[in-house]
Structure 1
Amino acid sequence: MLTGEIRNKVDKIWTDIWAGGISNPLTVIEQLTYLMFIRSLDERELENESMEALGGEVGPKLFPQDEQGQMMRWSKFKTKDPRVIFEIVGTQVFPYIKAMNGASNSAFARYMHDAMFLIPTPQVLQKIITGLDELYEHDIQNLDMQGDLYEYMLGKLASAGQNGQFRTPKHIRDMMVRLLAPTPNDKICDPACGTAGFLVSSAEYIREKYEAEMTSEQWDHFAGEMFSGFDTDRTMLRLSAMNLMLHSITQPHVDYVDSVSKQNDISSKYDLILANPPFTGTVDAESIHDNLKTVCDTKKTELLFVALFLRMLRKGGRCACIVPDGVLFGSTKAHKSLRKELVENHQLQAVVSMPSGVFKPYAGVSTAILIFTKTGSGGTDKVWFYDMKADGFSLDDKRSPIEANDIPDIIVRYHNLAGEADRKPTEKSFLVDKSAIVANDYALSINKYKETVVQKVEYPSTKEIMAELFAIEDRIAVGLKELEAMLNEKG
C-alpha cells in the first residue's frame, strides 16, 4: 500500500503537470506512462549489463551502443540541463520508443506508434523526471508498490467515456477475483479491459496465493498467454499494457478489438472472464456478430457483452461480470431472452446486488455482479442472492473509508453455499429455487425475492397525545413568565 507521503509526492508531480497546462487526467497519465516506460527500459538495460559483468550471457541491447544512443538512457540524460533533457526526450527518445516495435515485443510498444509527447516545457519535464526518480529510488521498493503507484494514478480518472464505460474500483475488482479464485493454469480474459484492472487484480491474487509453488512453465504462462484483454480505445490499450507490464506480465494478449462485432470470432477459449462492460452504449446493428443476436437480438451493449462472455468461455469456464440493474429486470424480449439463456442453458450461481454509490463520484447507477458457469446443458438449481449494503467506503461523492463492509462476508458465504440453505429471504443473503425465478419471468432483481419484516408499532392514543401537548404548552407558559420576570428585574 502507498503511504500518505508517497501519495503526496505523486500529487506534487500531478500538480506540476497541471500547472504546465495539461489538465486532462487521461493525458497526464499517458505522459507519465511514457516516462515510466522510458525509465523501465533503462532499468532493464542496467540489469542486463550487471548480468554480463557477472559472466552471464550477453543479451540483445535495448539502446544503440553509440554515444547518441546511450544518451537516450534515463540514467544518462536525467542530470542534464532541462533544455538538453527536453531536446533529447522530445526529438530522440520519444521517436525511438515509438518505433521500437521491432526491438521490443512488449504490448506497450505495439501501441506506441500513434502516441504524442505533450510535456509543454523543459522545466515541467525536469520536475517530472526528478519526482519519478525520487519515487523509484526511495519509495517504490518492489513490483507491488510499483503497481500500487500506477493504480493510484489511474484512480484519478474520474470521468466515464461516451459509451458508458468507467473504471471499476480496485476493492470491487479484488472481490470479484476472490469469488472466482483463479489458478496458475487458467486463461483469463476481459473483453472490455480499459486499463486492465481485472487482469491486474487476477495477477495479484495468483502471485499472492501460488507464487511459492508455481513451476517455470506456469511463470511463462503468467507472463504471457494467461491474460488477454480487448478494447476499442488505443489510449486505454497503452495504459493497460503498461499496467500489466508493471505487474510482471510482459507479453499479455492485449489487442484493439471491437469485442461484440464480427471482428471477434473467439469462441470457447477462456477459463475465466472478469469484466465491467460498457453500460449505456449501443452499436451498429450491422456490425454485431450474428451468433450474439441468436442469444439476444439487441443493440444494447450491456446485453451483448454477457452473451459474448458465454461464447468466449470454454465449457466449464466461469464468469463474474458487472451489469446495470436493468439487465436483471428489463422487460424487453432481449432482456428476458438473455436471462433465460443463463438460467436454462447454463449454471447461474449468484447475483450480488451492489449499492448505487459504488461507482461515485462519476456514476450513480445501481449495479449487480452476475456469476455463472458455461455448461451448454443447464445446471441452475438454486441462485444465491446477496444484498450488499456497504463496501467499506461512504456511498457519497467523497467515498471516504468507513468500517461497514460486506465484502469479506460475501466472499466467505459464496465459497460455502451449502451453509446458506437455511437462510431466509429476510436476511442479507439467501438461496432462491430456479422454479421461483422461472415463475417470475426469469427476473433476477433481489427485490423480487427479498422479504421485508414489518414490525407492528403501538402508538399512544389521541387522548394521550393531546394530554402531552397540553402539558408541553403549560411548561412553555411557565417558562415565558419566568423569562418576563427576569427581564423586568433587569429593566
Structure 2
Amino acid sequence: MLTGKIRNQIDQVWTMFWTGGVANPISVIEQISYLLFIRRLDELQRTAERRAQATGIPIANPTFGPDEQALRWNNFKDKDPNVMMDIVQNQVFPKIKALHNEGSFAEHMKDAIFMIPSAKLLDQVVQLLSAINMDDKDTKGDLYEYLLSKLQQSGVNGQFRTPRNLIQMMVELMQPKLGDTICDPSSGTCGFLMAALEYVENNYKQEVNKPENRKHVNNAMFTGFDFDKSMLRIGAMNMLLHGIENPSVLYRDSLQDQGDANISEAYNLILANPPFKGSVDFDIVAPDLLRALGKNPAAKKAAPKYKTEIDENGNEIQVEVKAKGPTEKSELLFLALILRMLKVGGRAAVIVPDGVLFGSTKSHKSIREKIVNEQKLEAVISLPSGVFKPYAGVSTAILIFTKTNSGGTDKVWFYDMQADGFSLDDKRTPLFKDGAEPTHEQSNIADIIARYLSLTNPDGTPNLASPEHNRKTTEQSFMVPVANITDNDCDLSLNRYKKVIYEEVQYDSPKVILARIKTLQEKMTKGVQELEKLL
C-alpha cells in the first residue's frame, strides 16, 4: 500500500518531467522503468555475491565487472547530481541497452532512449526510488500501478489501458488455476496477467510457493504479446515488479502471418481487450484467420489503374492510381486468433465492441457462428458505454467462451451491466469511498460475479438449480436458448433478447389541458393589470 507521502513524491516527479519537456505519460513511465531496472540489476548482483560468499563458488558472468562498480545503483545514487547524470546517461544506460541475457525487459531495451532532461530531476527520481523498499513486492507493484493509472491516452492503433476494476472482474469470473498457461495477445501494460497472478497467489497461498509451482509461475504461466516497443518495456517491468522473475513479454504482431511460427493450441486461458480501431490489410494477415471469417486469403489488390496528368513541361503523363487492397477489422481477426491460440478445453474472456455482436457483414456473422455453433459460448456481459472514457465512448461487451471444436452451446447467459463503481462521464469519479462496500446501484460487479459463478457447481458441472435459469428476460440477467440465437443470425446483442416493460402513462384529455391553459392565462392577465395600477 503506497503512503500519501510516496504518492505526493511521484506526483512531484511527474510534474518535473512535464515541466522539463517530457509530456508523454508513456515516456515518463519508460524513464522510471529504466531506473527501476538499473536498481534491480544491482540487487540481483548483490544477491549473487552473498551466495558466492557463502558457497565459495564465484559468480559466473556478473552483470557488473570489477571495472564497472561505479555503474551500480548503490554506488552512484548518493553522488553529486551532475556526476550521477554523467554516469547514468553516458555509461549505465549504454550498458543496459547492450544487455541480452537479463530477461525480456533487457531484450526490449535496445531501442530505448534516455530522456531525463536534467541532473536535478534524475537525482529526485533516484532518491524517490531508493527510499522505497523493493523487497516488498506489494509496495513496488503498487508503485507501478500508480504510475500506470496516469496513462490517460489511447494509442494510435486503438489500444488503451483497460480499467483495473474490469480486469479484476474478468479474472474473478474465469478463476485461473495454478497450472494454467495464460496469455494476452495484446498485452499492453500486462494488467490482465498481473491480476491473474494476484488471484492465483491469493487463492493458492500454500501451493504457489512450492518449487515446481513457483518455477511454472516465473517462467511459463504468463505470456504477453505486443508490437509496441514502449508497451513491451512497460509490461515487462510491471511483471518484474509483481514478482515474475522471467517475464515472457514478447514482440509480436499477433495478427501477422508468421508461417510455421504461428501459435496454435498453446494456452488454456486467454484474457484480452484487443485493439478495435481500424482494419488490417489481407496481405499481412495469417490466412487461417481470414478463412475463419469466411474470407478468401488469396484475394489480391486490384490491377493498377492509371490516369492522365499534365507534367510541369505541359506533357501528358500516365500516373498510377493506387488501389486499396482488401482489409479486415482487427477485432474480428483477434477473435479468430484467440480461437486458434486456445487449447481444446481452453477458456477466454474477451472485451469486444458492440458491433461484433450484431454486425451484418459476412465476417461478423462467420465469427459469431463459429463461436456459437462450433465452440461453447457461455456469457455475454454488456458494459456501460462510459467505462473507457475519457479516451473512448464506444459501447462494449465481454464474451466468455470455451474452445471445444465440437459445439456445446446450450443456453447463453446475458447480463445488462449498468454501473461499475465510477461515474460514466469523462471524469470517471469513484462513486464510493475506498474500503466501503458499494451498493448495487453504484457497482454491479459483485452481482455479476455471484450470478455467473452460480451457474457452475464446485466440480465444474452445470448447476441447473441456479436462479439464473428461471429469470425472465425483463430482468438484469437472463438465459437465452441457443436455438433463439441461431434463429437470429447468431445476433448476440442484449437488446435483441431483453424485453422492456413500458408503463402506460395516463394523460388528461385535450379539453382539460386547454382549460388549465386558459386559467393560467387569466391569472397572468390579472397580474399584469395589477402591476399597471402600481405604476
Same fold by TM (over 0.5)?
yes
The correspondence for 1:162, drawn from 152, 156, 169, is 156
Deviation at 1:131? 2.5
Look up the SS of the partner of 2:424 in the other structure. coil
Deviation digits for residues 67-105 of structure 1 (CA, Å, limit 9, x no counterpart): x42211212111111110001101111112112223x2x
Look up the SS of the partner of 1:299 in the other structure. strand
Partner Cα distance (1:65, 1:42) in 2: 12
Q: Gaps spanning 5+ residues in structure 1: where?
A: none
Partner Cα distance (1:40, 1:231) in 2: 24
Quick one: which amino acid aligns to residue 344 of structure 1?
N
Quick one: which amino acid aligns to residue 163 of structure 1?
N
Structure 1 contact 45–61 (Cα < 8 Å) conserved? no
Q: Gaps spanning 5+ residues in structure 2: where?
A: 296-326, 433-441, 456-465
Structure 2 contact 64–72 (Cα < 8 Å) conserved? no
Which residue number corresponds to residue 221 of structure 1? Answer: 216
Which residue number corresponds to residue 187 of structure 2? Answer: 193
Structure 2 contact 390–427 (Cα < 8 Å) conserved? yes
Partner Cα distance (2:88, 2:445) in 1: 45
1:44 aligns to 2:44 (yes or no): yes
1:415 aligns to 2:482 (yes or no): no
Partner Cα distance (1:26, 1:175) in 2: 25
Say if 1:282 and 1:354 are closer, same or farther in 2 by CA, change over 3 A. same
* Segment drifting more, 46-55 vs 280-289: 46-55
Quick one: which amino acid aligns to residue 84 of structure 1?
V
Partner Cα distance (2:129, 2:12) in 1: 11
Structure 1 contact 16–127 (Cα < 8 Å) conserved? no
Structure 1 contact 107–250 (Cα < 8 Å) conserved? no
Say if 1:43 and 1:482 are closer, same or farther in 2 by CA, change over 3 A. farther
Structure 2 contact 272–350 (Cα < 8 Å) conserved? yes
Deviation at 1:130? 2.0
Partner Cα distance (1:366, 1:419) in 2: 28
Partner Cα distance (1:319, 1:24) in 2: 33
Deviation at 1:158? 2.0
* Segment drifting more, 48-57 vs 373-382: 48-57
- Give the alignment of 1:358-373 within 5 angstroms: 358-373=387-402
- Give the alignment of 1:98-117 within 5 angstroms: 98-102=97-101, 104=102, 106-117=103-114
Which residue number corresponds to residue 337 of structure 1? Answer: 366
Which residue number corresponds to residue 317 of structure 1? Answer: 346
- Give the alignment of 1:307-456 within 5 angstroms: 307-403=336-432, 404-417=442-455, 418-456=466-504
RMSD of aligned C-alpha atoms?
A: 2.2
Deviation at 1:266? 1.1
Quick one: which amino acid aligns to residue 252 of structure 1?
P
Deviation digits for residues 39-88 of structure 1 (CA, Å, limit 9, x no counterpart): 2222333444455666797655744342x422112121111111100011
Look up the SS of the partner of 1:189 in the other structure. strand
Which residue number corresponds to residue 124 of structure 2? Answer: 127
Identity of aligned residues (%): 51
Deviation at 1:212? 2.4
Partner Cα distance (2:419, 2:3) in 1: 25
Quick one: which amino acid aligns to residue 217 of structure 1?
E
Deviation digits for residues 234-282 of structure 1 (CA, Å, limit 9, x no counterpart): 1111111111111111212221111122215111110100111110132
1:208 aligns to 2:202 (yes or no): yes
Deviation digits for residues 282-305 of structure 1 (CA, Å, limit 9, x no counterpart): 222112112112210262110011
Partner Cα distance (2:226, 2:110) in 1: 17
Say if 1:372 and 1:37 are closer, same or farther in 2 by CA, change over 3 A. same
Deviation at 1:436? 0.6
Question: Number of residues paired by the alignment?
Answer: 481
1:285 aligns to 2:282 (yes or no): yes
Partner Cα distance (1:49, 1:398) in 2: 50
Partner Cα distance (2:176, 2:21) in 1: 43
* Segment drifting more, 452-461 vs 383-392: 452-461
Which residue number corresponds to residue 6 of structure 1? Answer: 6
Quick one: which amino acid aligns to residue 424 of structure 2?
L
Partner Cα distance (2:403, 2:337) in 1: 11
Quick one: which amino acid aligns to residue 30 of structure 2?
E
The correspondence for 2:231, drawn from 217, 220, 236, is 236
Structure 1 contact 231–259 (Cα < 8 Å) conserved? yes
Which residue number corresponds to residue 19 of structure 1? Answer: 19
Look up the SS of the partner of 1:192 in the other structure. coil
Partner Cα distance (2:329, 2:431) in 1: 36
Partner Cα distance (1:41, 1:283) in 2: 39
* Segment drifting more, 428-437 vs 206-215: 206-215
Deviation digits for residues 362-414 of structure 1 (CA, Å, limit 9, x no counterpart): 11111111000000000000111111111100011100001410111111111
Partner Cα distance (2:241, 2:58) in 1: 24
TM-score by length of 1: 0.93
Look up the SS of the partner of 1:294 in the other structure. helix
Which residue number corresponds to residue 262 of structure 1? Answer: 257
Which residue number corresponds to residue 144 of structure 1? Answer: 138
Partner Cα distance (1:128, 1:20) in 2: 13
Partner Cα distance (1:37, 1:80) in 2: 19
Partner Cα distance (1:3, 1:465) in 2: 63
Quick one: which amino acid aligns to residue 121 of structure 2?
V
Deviation digits for residues 182-237 of structure 1 (CA, Å, limit 9, x no counterpart): 01100000111111111111111111111223232111100110011111111111
Structure 2 contact 13–121 (Cα < 8 Å) conserved? no
Partner Cα distance (2:56, 2:420) in 1: 50
Which residue number corresponds to residue 72 of structure 2? Answer: 73
Look up the SS of the partner of 1:211 in the other structure. coil
Deviation at 1:176? 0.8
Structure 2 contact 352–396 (Cα < 8 Å) conserved? yes
Whose helix fraction is larger, Structure 1's or Structure 2's? 1
Deviation at 1:316? 0.4
Look up the SS of the partner of 1:350 in the other structure. strand
* Segment drifting more, 219-228 vs 40-49: 40-49
Which residue number corresponds to residue 459 of structure 1? Answer: 507
TM-score by length of 2: 0.85
Deviation digits for residues 98-141 of structure 1 (CA, Å, limit 9, x no counterpart): 12223x2x21111111211111121221122123233x14xx77
Say if 1:133 and 1:472 are closer, same or farther in 2 by CA, change over 3 A. farther
Structure 1 contact 63–70 (Cα < 8 Å) conserved? no
Structure 1 contact 41–62 (Cα < 8 Å) conserved? no
Partner Cα distance (1:306, 1:452) in 2: 31
